[in-house]
Structure 1
Amino acid sequence: MLTKLTVLSSWSWRCAKSSTHKELVNDRWTACSHSRATTQIHPDLVDAGLIPEPFVDANDLRVQWVGEADWEYRATFEYSPGFKFTDLVFEGLDTFTTVYLNDVKILETDNMFHSHRVPVKDLVTEGDNFLRIYFYSALLKARELEGANKRMSLWNGESCRLYVRKAQYHFGWDWGPTLVTCGPYKEVKLESYDATITEISVISDISEALDAANTTVIVKTSGEYHHACVQVLSPDGSLAKSECVSYSDQFQEVKFTLERPELWYPHKYGAQPLYQFTVKLFTSSNHELAKLSRSVGLRRARVVESPLIGQPGTSFYFEINNVPIFVAGSNWIPAHSFHTLLTAEDYYSWIKLAVDGNQDMLRVWGGGIYELDVFYQLCDKFGVLVWQDFMFACGLYPHTPDLAKSITIEAEQQVSRLRNHCSVVIYTGNNEDYQLAESLDIKWDRRQKHGLSETEFPAREYYERILPMAVRKLSPNTFYHFGSPYGGDTTHDPTVGDIHQWNVWHGTQEKYQNWNQLAGRFVSEFGMQAFPNIETVKSFVTEASSQHPQSEIVDHHNKADGFERRLALYIMENIKIDSMDLASWTYATQFMQAECLAYAYRCWRREWKGKGKEYVAGALVWQLNDCWPTISWATCDFYLRPKLAYYAIKRESSPLSLGIYRDDRDKRASGRPAKSDTLYAYGSQKLLSVDVWAVNSSLSPVQGRLMVEFIEVFSGKIVFELQQDVDILANQSTQFLADVPVPTDCHTVVYVRLLDTSGSVLARASDWPQPLKYLSFNPGLNVAAEVKEDGFVTVTTNYPVKCVVLDVPGATTFDDNGFDAFEGDTIVVKAPGLAKGSLVRVEYYQRK
């Protein structure tokens, strides 16, 4: 046996101290009803029947006392002697704890994001041993720390959160509840060994020619051994390199050069080969003592900030293996308020959902957690880039010597853990902390790099010294960005760095038809709210009488300030409403969210115009997921049920897509007659001026035949059409038509298709008069959906139709939904598991 590793499980818990629930303060230990290695107090209390499910109705308010109590966890483990060393390894404890082994204090913690290795050989005894962890109320500790110092400014949550290194969203956010939980949220392990490997890290430097990978394997060990061997297997399993080194220290570096490496690419651009790096420790007689492996992808990743042709500022784009990439993706928050309830299968489903949705990147947002290893492993496997924030969000964080020391350890531990993951291509110091400081009119000199903690913005010490130093030291080839957003003279500067574009929904509450005027070099946040699936609403609203859009419980599950006015504003500006029942309102909000977000992606991808013209290089929607069942900006709800926006983004982010813009859009959206000489009021002749382009994300040019039709919405009559052969350049947008004038006296939809030489449709797009609420559809409109063969739905229509939604009771998923359709087209939608002849429900815009 090389080592003996025991993962502690079968935890028991008790309430150690509570000012409000005396009945729980006793010596009675309650065994967890599960055998998981990780756990948190709220789910355990639910399992024991002592609190209601916090996600249902307004129960989150009824369980606030849990966060103000102290709790204890204990586990029993068996120890067998026979090894020279024995350690207890704590991957993560949440947050303030004192740890006892056989009633001897061995550890105190105050940072959720730290791991700990504690030698315990002298404290364990043969047979049963007892580990007890006392969890102090992080909420009360945070209030105590704040009271001893001062209140700092913030957005979201209770201000005391800024004083503790704990997941900030536990204190409440504008999309999530306040549930300050605790527990052994990562594994606790007993490891007995003569020698063990505590860390393998691989740092690779890929030559600009991509023909060599200069690789450093960093090995950290504990215990006694004679020599170590490092072996590298190529993705096909063949031996690439092997080297043995004599023991010199518990820190070893082995350097290799891998010639002509197989490189890792994002999923739209190539394969995801992974090399296996294995380290073994041996005695002098070649007896193997320990073994540990890591799967690592090799790639050259850069963030390019260069002058642009014809526009001010600089680019901000990601380049992987010398390939510039327009990044279409999402922001990622923790997928559960109690993420120990998430399984590896849950993470797989979420990452697969992003990949299937044509998303290139997930941004791990700074108010949650540094995600579990499985998250990054799946991003490596599936080719999803990761933008990694450090865990600071929406606050003017204080500076104390103790916090600075704790944050230094946190940063070094987390970067050491994450640097093996080829998916991680950027670290960012915080989320919106510079923006908050600007909103408070705090002035600072960007050139000042000394005495930062003494300024009005003391957290600059973390963002501009401690965090970048950790990245430079431990992952020197990974880009570090001071904050998000961060760039030019202000965080709102659209010409440098990244921006968060919240002037749709927040801020000036611009019409979403103005997205083309709201671009930045990289838009790392923007969004629009929508209701989740009706079944999701019913999961958190138990009374049927409250299952309507304006009920108190439904409102309680929307944590955004002013959501009633803002959601209604965008609906009433754009969508015709015939009913306020739950089904109608859900459809309206999801339809509007889909139109809004699709328009942003379409406008911004257009600005990816080739070398030196990377005017917009990325769009990360806020947000992909939810931490509880709620109404929010998520494009997929808590139960992984995609909203219509998910499919709209998928279409707009496809490797080959078409775009359309009509120049009367903004004027029509206002509901007022246009003032231009070439545009006329409703009821008389109008002259549309239309642009058409394509975006090709592949590395090869595409040829095809462009078909453009201008179709009267009500009658379905084609009032104007044109065709032309087109060449679409690789990895950029290509414009085909500009300012095409089309006279018409009706509401006209522009329908564009790209055909290959055989006449098959490579891409399609449509553009409708805005606002959509003014449209009238033919009363004879009929949309048919049939399952003519297993796993496929065939959709046809006799008139132009907007936002066709397919639905089958149960768990059937579709590869497209919420799409437009036109007479003469046959649209085939994949629906895995759907049997031939199955009944498919159809909904579409303005259906009576």
Structure 2
Amino acid sequence: DPYYRFNDVMYRWISLDNWTYSRTFKTPFDVRKWQRINLVFEGVDTVAHILINNVTLGTTDNMFNRYSFDITSVIKEVNFVEVRFLSAISYAAEQSRCHTAYSIPPACPPPVQKGECHANFIRKEQCSFGWDWGPSFPTQGIWKDVRIEAYNYYHLIYFSLTPFFVKSTQQWSLEIESIFDVVSSKPIAGLVTVNIPKLQTQQTYNVKLQPGEGSIVLLVNINKSSTVEAWWPNGHGKQTGYNVTTTFIMEAGYKIEKISKAYFRTVELVQEPIPGSPGLSFYFRINGRPIFIKGSNWIPADSFQDRVTYDKLWLLLKSAADANMNALRVWGGGVYEQDDFYDICDELGIMIWQDFMFACALYPTDQNYLESVRAEVSHQVRRLKSHPSIILWSGNNENEAAIASDWFSIPHADREVYVKDYVLLYVKNIREIVLAEDKSRPFVASSPTNGVESVKEGWISQNPYDTHYGDTHFYDYSSDCWNWTVYPKTRFASEYGFQSWPSFSTLEKVSSTEDWSYTSNFSLHRQHHENGNDQMLQQIGYHFKLPQTTDPIKKFKDTIYLTQVMQAQCTKTETEFYRSSQSEIINGEGHTMGALYWQLNDIWQAPSWASLEYGGKWKLLHYFAQHFFAPLLPVAYEDKGVLCIYGVSDLHTDHELTLKVTVHSWSSLEPVCTLAKDSVTVRAQSAVPIYKESINDLLERCRNCTRKSCVVTFYLVGEGGLRSPTNHHFLSSLKDAVGLEKAQLSAAVSQQDDVYVFDLQTTAVAPFVTLDVGSIKGRFSDNGFLMIEKKKVVVFYPWEPTSAEELEKSLTLTSLMDV
């Protein structure tokens, strides 16, 4: 296993070598019968010479491109095909050496990342040269389908469906674009029929294909008497799609029948003035409705893309939807994901913020490089633009900020060169192609950016992190994360987060006994973020006692547990701050309309910001996300000794609810006092203050309570079973809590249909109760919770066959007082 222990370093020699893939194959058809025969590579990673029968067909230099080589004149009955790869590391170094006019930083990643240099000189997955959460495995190979296509007259290459809503006529239309390779020497006429049975829509068109790259664009008006159901994000409606059959009958050549799905949705990125606030808004309107974006950031699910199967993608994306997410950002240092990824997002209602693959670096802009990028962008936009899930194209990750904040210490005299390159690459090339190919969704040049304000400032703003415009990325590991005042009251939080360690059961698979300590060589080796392990301990230390045990393995497991508790609690605090800021402007800041934490998934087994471990296991953060992204949620924070509770709602209608606030003593399972506030109005799709009381008054009202001896819980309840999750607010650090005792936790497991029920019991109030069943694949209905009643029922959803006995045998129950 390349992920075992230190194998990433041991196997470095593989990527320094050059590798050749070759094979002999028989042609399964009569080559004389076809006008054109192509050898098509959907993806080549990355730099290669391609030969057939010792004839060079061409070269490749871009992992994100599709390559098609004409082999009509060289193919025989029996053939020998070769793909001669060049080491990506050597190629990148050579490209950098040849770029003599000026340097293109950064040359190399920081040493802690154990990565390779000059990733920005090769059009390849940037994080495959190493990142602060992943290993360096600069692969070489054929990473997508390769096939032979033989045809006469014409051949369909790209096919896309784009919906438009015409406001003046209140009618949907569908733009169908087909791009062909036409090998006939003269134009070919014919008929195209489009049929959408469910929408009683059928139209036939006379068309003509021109020699070369012939394209046909058809505009289909949807029958006005049909009701079109729009595609909605998760939590806002259904993800209805309609089967469309498009039939091409041309006067020469064969009939083509294309069966595809059409989805109807509109997207706008709204950037307009806000009363009482300088700057502009930054939010998405889907089908005319403003939507608060809830979710995370997606990185490649594996260093070896062929291991990323449909099932793996489904598990990760379904876990995102199950945690009440409605969006993910496909981050610009990875890959444009495979078709399955976007198909699943279409199905689950997960909106995608799609970066182009440029991250944390400056990039060359010589002619060859730009041509390669132009082909890449054009291919990817044509391939992906039919997906309703994609709501935004974004030029790069953090490269505007890199220049604006001078990450690479560029002498002031040289700055203009880099600014010019930036505009040339992202604006004059990438943006131009995107706008020509896709008029149905917005484009921003970078993230973070000030949006239209950045454009006004020449595409690189003075401060891309300005809270009054666009989106922000925010990381702060040294401040106390429970202190909400450190977080930016931004328009849109597209990156923020905290690290934790993955479960022991996940690490166990790639480590040996001597590695099982927080300070082992292995633990240092896996941490690719400078001082990351210490930062986690420092953050834990603000509110929790560090593990007391002398047993080294228990100490390691306890530390892992605490990192996950800390990460979950920190990200909860920050996300709740963003959600509760959506409807207000305070000191000119607010109207936050998006929270995408960093990051959803892991590329290997290591400490990282992820909420899903490598293999899909939910960290405590992911269980917390299920609550902090709930459609209805009460959120509490303290301001100058006053407890404020907001009612946050993504629901489409206002609700009259009851707010129940309960104060519990750490030393008793009986509540100290309860308050029910009736007829609380929680407004549709907003965050409104619903309760205010000074902590002193609250403690006075609930006698025998101090900040250290009590905790507050609260939830919203309404008619027809409407109920929010129960939230809590700590009145002091838990290391200072008075009356907390070690609880005896027990669980009885039973099977019910295809799920398992855990009947939990506790003898005392227990914070952060965590159920872990080792490497049995599946997830719980809840985890990491505050247990304030004697009993609780938790359901386990298995992802593979298991049994009650097996679960009982593997179960460990941990709460805060066990460490």
Q: Could you say whether these structures have the same fold, taking a TM-score greater than 0.5 normalized by the shorter chain as the test?
A: yes
Aligned partner of 1:458 among 415, 421, 430: 421
CA distance in 2, matches of 1:153, 1:274: 45
User: In structure 2, what residue type is equivalent to 1:92?
Assistant: G
SS at match of 2:4: coil
Change (3 A) 1:115 1:793: same
Match of 1:105 among 56, 60, 76: 56
Q: Distance in 2 between matches of 1:762 and 1:455?
A: 50
**Structure 1 pair 181–212 and aligned structure 2 pair: CA distance change class (3 A):** same
* Aligned equivalent of 2:348: 382
Match among 169, 177, 183 for residue 141 of structure 2: 183
Question: How far has the Cα of 1:394 moved from its partner?
Answer: 0.5
Match of 1:198 in 2: 157
Contact 1:792–1:831 (8 Å) recurs in 2: no
**Alignment partner of 1:243 is 2:204:** yes
Secondary structure at the aligned position of 1:497 is classed as coil
Aligned ranges for residues 456-495 of structure 1 at < 5 Å?
458-487=421-450, 489-495=462-468
- Whether the aligned pair in 2 keeps the contact of 1:807 and 1:841 (CA below 8 Å) is yes
Where 2:725 maps in the other structure, the secondary structure is: strand
The answer as to whether partners of 1:500 and 1:525 remain within 8 angstroms in 2 is yes
Residue pair 2:296, 2:597 contacting (<8 A) in 1 also: yes
Shift of 1:722: 1.8
Q: In the alignment, which residue of structure 2 is the partner of 1:58?
A: 6
Partner of 2:376: 410
SS at 1:272 equivalent: coil
> 1:774: Cα distance to partner?
1.6
Are positions 1:771 and 2:711 aligned together?
no
Unpaired segments ≥5 residues, structure 2: 110-114, 454-461, 700-704
Distance 1:353 1:560, change over 3 A: same
Amino acid paired to 2:663:
F
The residue that corresponds to 1:120 in the other structure is 71
Measure, in 1, the Cα distance between the counterparts of 2:404 and 2:415: 16
- The 1:754/1:514 distance shift into structure 2, 3 A limit, reads closer
Q: Please state if 1:732 is matched with 2:686.
A: yes
Whether 1:586 aligns to 2:560 is: yes
Using structure 2 for the length normalisation, give the TM-score. Answer: 0.87
Question: Cα–Cα, structure 1 residues 822 and 455, in superposed 2: closer, same or farther, change >3 Å?
Answer: closer
Distance between the aligned counterparts of 1:642 and 1:334, measured in 2?
17
Distance 1:834 1:707 in 2: 39
Q: Secondary structure at the match of 2:506?
A: helix
- After TM superposition, list the pairs within 5 Å mapping 1:32-431 onto structure 2: 53-79=1-27, 80-81=29-30, 82-126=33-77, 128-149=78-99, 150-154=102-106, 156=109, 157-194=115-152, 195-208=154-167, 211-223=170-182, 226-233=189-196, 236=198, 240-249=201-210, 250-258=214-222, 259=224, 260-284=227-251, 288-431=254-397
> Is the CA contact (8 Å cut-off) linking 1:70 and 1:137 kept in structure 2?
yes
Q: Write the distance in 1 (CA, Å) between the matches of 2:269 and 2:441.
A: 9
Comparing 831-840 and 563-572, the one that deviates more:
831-840
The amino acid that maps onto 1:90 is F
Map of 1:804 onto structure 2: 769
2:617–2:778 contact (8 Å) kept in structure 1? no
Change (3 A) 1:630 1:775: same
Larger mean CA deviation between 758-767 and 418-427 belongs to 758-767
Deviations 1:641-693 (A, max 9, x none): 110001111110011112111236xxxxxxxxxxxxxxxxxxxxxxx521112
Amino acid at match of 2:467: P
Distance 1:100 1:512, change over 3 A: farther
**1:410-809 paired onto structure 2 within 5 Å:** 410-440=376-406, 454-455=417-418, 458-487=421-450, 489-502=462-475, 504-505=476-477, 509=479, 511-514=481-484, 517-541=487-511, 543-577=512-546, 578-579=548-549, 581-609=555-583, 615-663=591-639, 688-716=641-669, 718-725=671-678, 726-740=680-694, 741-743=697-699, 744-747=705-708, 748-757=710-719, 761-779=723-741, 781-787=743-749, 790=752, 791-797=756-762, 799-809=764-774
**Change in 2 beyond 3 A, CA 1:262/1:621:** same
Amino acid at match of 2:14: V
**Structure 1 residues 121, 533: CA separation in 2 closer, same or farther (over 3 Å shift)?**
same
Whether the 8 Å contact between 1:756 and 1:762 is mirrored in structure 2 is: no
Q: Distance in 1 between matches of 2:795 and 2:103?
A: 55
Task: Give the 3-state SS of the residue equivalent to 1:692 in structure 2.
Answer: strand
Q: 1:187 to 1:756 in 2, by over 3 A?
A: same
Question: What stretches of structure 1 of length at least 5 have no aligned partner?
Answer: 1-52, 445-450, 665-687
Distance of 1:132 and 1:386 partners within structure 2: 37
Q: Cα distance, 1:91 vs. partner?
A: 0.9
Q: Check whether the contact 2:633–2:716 (CA below 8 A) recurs between aligned residues.
A: no
Shift, 1:780, TM fit = 6.5
- Structure 1 counterpart SS, 2:251: coil
SS in 2 for 1:426: strand
**What letter matches 2:437 in structure 1?**
L
Distance in 2 separating the partners of 1:596 and 1:203: 40
What is the identity, as a one-letter code, of the residue corresponding to 2:374? T
CA contact (8 A) 1:750 1:766 kept: yes
Asked if the contact 1:709/1:718 (under 8 Å) is kept, the reply is yes
Distance in 2, matches of 1:456 and 1:516, equals 31
With structure 1 as the length reference, what TM-score do the two structures score? 0.85
Q: Which SS does the other structure have where 2:565 is aligned?
A: helix
Q: In structure 1, the residue corresponding to 2:74 is in which secondary structure?
A: coil
CA distance in 2, matches of 1:251, 1:759: 54
1:780–1:186 Cα change, 3 Å: closer
Deviation at 1:824, TM superposition (A): 6.4
Kindly indicate whether the alpha-carbon contact (under 8 Å) linking 1:442 and 1:456 is maintained by their aligned counterparts in 2.
Answer: no
Give the secondary structure class of the aligned counterpart of 1:282.
Answer: strand
Taking the aligned partners of 1:694 and 1:786, their CA distance within structure 2 comes to 36
Q: CA deviation at 1:629?
A: 1.6
Q: CA separation in 2, counterparts of 1:437 and 1:350?
A: 34
Q: Structure 1 pair 215/775, CA: closer, same or farther in 2 (3 Å)? A: same
- Give CA deviations for 1:549-584 in whole Å, capped at 9, x if unaligned: 211012211111111321121121222222362210
**Aligned-pair CA distance for 1:180:** 1.1
SS at match of 1:70: coil
1:455 deviates by 4.5
How far is 1:146 from its partner? 0.8
- Counterpart CA distance in 1 for 2:576 and 2:169 is 32
8 Å CA contact retained: 1:99, 1:132: yes
CA drift of 1:456 comes to 5.0
Return 838-847 or 162-171, whichever deviates more: 838-847
Distance 1:74 1:729, change over 3 A: same
Question: What fraction of aligned residue pairs are identical, expressed as a percent?
Answer: 27
Following the alignment from structure 1 to structure 2, what is the Cα–Cα distance between the partners of residues 110 and 97? 7
Change in Cα spacing, 1:135 to 1:169, as seen in structure 2 (3 Å) is: same
Q: CA RMSD in A?
A: 2.7
C-alpha distance 183-605 of structure 1, shift in aligned 2 (>3 A):
same
- CA distance, structure 2, for counterparts of residue 835 and residue 209 of structure 1: 59
